[in-house]
Amino acid sequence: MAKVPQVDRPDWPLPRRAVDHVVLASRGTTIAYYAGVVLVVAGLFAARLLPCVDYPQHLALADVAHRLLDPTAPEQTEYQLNYFTYNALFHVVVARLSAFMPIEVAGRFFVAASLFATAAGVVALVRVLRRPPAYAALFTPVLFSFSVGWGFVNYVAATAIAVWALVFVARASLQPSLHAAGTVGALGMLCAFAHVLVMLILCATAAALALELACRVAPREGPCGERVLWVLARAASAGLPLLLGCAYCIAVNHRQYAWAPSTYHDPTMEGTGPTLWAKIVFLGTFATGLFRDTTDQVVVWAAVVVMGGSTILAWTERRSGSSAAEQPPPIVGLLGVMLIAYLATPSIVLGTHLIFQRLAQWVMLGALLATPCFPSAVEGRVRVCTCGLGIVAGVNILLHCVVFGWETSDASALIDDLPPGLAASAVIWEPRSLAFSNSTLTHLAGYYAARKHGQWAFAFARYLSLPVRFRRAQPPWPAKGWEFSARDYDPRCKYAHAFPLVLVKAPAALPVDATGEWPVRKLVFKEDAGAVRLLSHHGHFWAFDTAGLPNDGVF
């Protein structure tokens, strides 16, 4: 039986230099692409408070982690650090960075670096897979994604790591080397430390990509069975280093599940989600869905139209026998895997919410890799169109962040006025803003904790998967929490009594007297309106000290 030759096909050239991975086909398109990316990242620096829902919680935990680096810190009695976990990269890195810069600068620098690394990784993936480099700009509309808007900072960082891991999985599939295998293994471990869900996504996409590329470069001669074995061996050599990260995640889960099995199940909503048709029709919403004017979704659908137009044109030319088929073929495996995952995954899995929505960004990545090449006659115009679309997306995001900064300047000024080291809770009416549809101000108390080194209500330190956790028992949670429902705030309940500093965002339509203070007091504190002390007031934002109120509330 003839042996199948173990040689690499010469018709799949790879970028030779490191810089070749992150530049586009020309200087002009490179500048245009990264201009869009820079505009997106600049939005993170347009306001002191980021329009990211859970971000203040993670920032406050990172500040605690920084203080816990001192073995004599008083926080040692309240919190503990656990590095053997996933969902931890943001807290660990920002805690270290905050030794050299303010914690809020460190936090936004980390998020900005994650977005920029993702954008550069998409270019590298496109270049390695021989797709038109300008197609990377079709990803810019989802760079500031649903996950960014919800403040899933560890997921966002892990996404950047996973994209770069796929770059080296692709290289290892095409030209195996110890360097590529080692890099895949190291990035897999880092991804596992950053976020377990992205590690699952990385494994699925890496398997699809490695198998497809191995099939593309497999020898054309020899027995079928040996060629199949060749493909499997080549794909395995590229993807097996990821097993290190998988083993790490399994070990962490085995340990943490035994601590609190109930946290891995939501009995009322587990496995629920919208219909398949809703997932398709509202893809733009689940990919971004952040702006109240929905312009972000318009830009996303414009990118989808470009991809769809190319597919239709390629199909038409193939039917007519055009030579367009000689172009490098699209990469379809990643799209297939992520589209199935997106449609099949519910919104709530293992007690964790907003799961399938995070996959929409990966569907868009798979779609641009599967987009056929445009004919050379229109290639230049398409390049201008795609890069222009990326710039439009960047400008749109920057403008909305500027508006958000203007809207929340009073909230930031309020926090600046307050004394440090207190225990804060937030009672937020109308947590949405004019610019963003998410409840971006829900965790306002977390900003106080990060900036003023205090404590905050409803802290994420209760979640076992995060590296900063409570060391001792906390006040029992109220039967009705007010984190997402300001009307349920009871200043006399025991949980509220543990957080006497109350940050309030009053309804914009609240009737006011000459000072505007008494209606706010009555709305929030009811019969105790006259017993609380005003600490600061800026616009619709108020801060009160409730120390001394009775703790005889009903819950």
Give pLDDT tens digits for 305-332. Answer: 999 999 888 888 777 766 544 678 899 9
For 476-485, write each residue's pLDDT tens digit: 888 889 999 9
Residue 9 lies in a domain: no
Radius of gyration of the chain (CA): 26
* Listed ranges 261-270, 450-459, 474-483; the one with the highest mean pLDDT: 450-459
Boundary of a domain, candidates 341, 375, 400: 400
**Domain of 223?**
19-400
Q: Which of 82-96, 187-201, 468-482, 519-533 has the lowest mean pLDDT?
A: 468-482
Please return the burial class of 244, using the count of CB atoms within 10 Å of its CB with bins 0-12, 13-18 and 19+: middle
**The dihedral of CA 201, 241, 127, 370: what is its sign?**
negative
Whether residues 396 and 407 fall in one domain: no
pLDDT of 2 above 60: no
**What is the predicted pLDDT for the residue at 512?**
56
**What is the predicted pLDDT for the residue at 326?**
63
**What is the predicted pLDDT for the residue at 515?**
62
* Listed ranges 36-40, 219-223, 320-324; the one with the highest mean pLDDT: 36-40
Residue 7 lies in a domain: no
Q: Facing residues of 534 across strands?
A: 544
Residue 555 lies in a domain: no
Whether residues 395 and 413 fall in one domain: no
Residue 553 lies in a domain: no
Boundary of a domain, candidates 340, 373, 400: 400
H/E segment holding residue 456: strand 455-456
Instruction: Report the SS3 class of residue 213.
Output: helix
CB count within 10 Å of CB 440 equals 27
pLDDT-above-70 percentage for the chain: 95
Boundary of a domain, candidates 344, 366, 400: 400
Whether residues 138 and 238 fall in one domain: yes
Whether residues 52 and 129 fall in one domain: yes
**What is the predicted pLDDT for the residue at 6?**
44
**What is the predicted pLDDT for the residue at 8?**
47
Q: Which of 99-108, 423-432, 510-519 has the lowest mean pLDDT?
A: 510-519
Whether residues 156 and 168 fall in one domain: yes
pLDDT of 119 above 70: yes
**What is the predicted pLDDT for the residue at 320?**
73
Whether residues 267 and 317 fall in one domain: yes
Helix/strand/coil percentages in the chain, nearest 5: 60, 5, 35
Whether residues 251 and 337 fall in one domain: yes
Task: Taking residues 278-290, report their average pLDDT.
Answer: 94
**C-alpha span between 115 and 112 (Å, rounded):** 5
Structural domain count, the chain: 2
Whether residues 204 and 278 fall in one domain: yes
pLDDT of 164 above 90: yes
Whether residues 408 and 364 fall in one domain: no
Closest CA to 408 of 447, 453, 458, 454: 447
**What is the predicted pLDDT for the residue at 182?**
96
pLDDT of 419 above 60: yes
How does residue 7 score in pLDDT terms, banded at 50, 70 and 90? very low
**What is the predicted pLDDT for the residue at 191?**
98
Residue 552 lies in a domain: no
Whether residues 187 and 143 fall in one domain: yes
Between the CA of residue 491 and those of 22, 322, 420, 521, what are the distances in Å?
54, 73, 21, 11
Please, what is the average pLDDT of the chain?
A: 92
Whether residues 432 and 319 fall in one domain: no
Residue 14 lies in a domain: no
Question: What's the pTM?
Answer: 0.94
**What is the predicted pLDDT for the residue at 4?**
40
Residue 10 lies in a domain: no
pLDDT of 5 above 70: no
**C-alpha span between 383 and 394 (Å, rounded):** 17
Residue 47 lies in a domain: yes
Which residues, other chains included, contact 240 with Cβ-Cβ below 8 Å and sequence gap of 6+? Answer: 181
Residue 391 in tokens? 């710039």
Task: Taking residues 525-546, report their average pLDDT.
Answer: 95
Whether residues 355 and 285 fall in one domain: yes
Closest CA to 435 of 236, 294, 326: 294
**The dihedral of CA 143, 171, 198, 200: what is its sign?**
positive
**C-alpha span between 505 and 411 (Å, rounded):** 8
**The dihedral of CA 381, 386, 388, 392: what is its sign?**
positive
pLDDT of 3 above 60: no
For 354-399, write each residue's pLDDT tens digit: 999 999 999 999 999 999 998 888 888 999 999 999 999 999 999 9
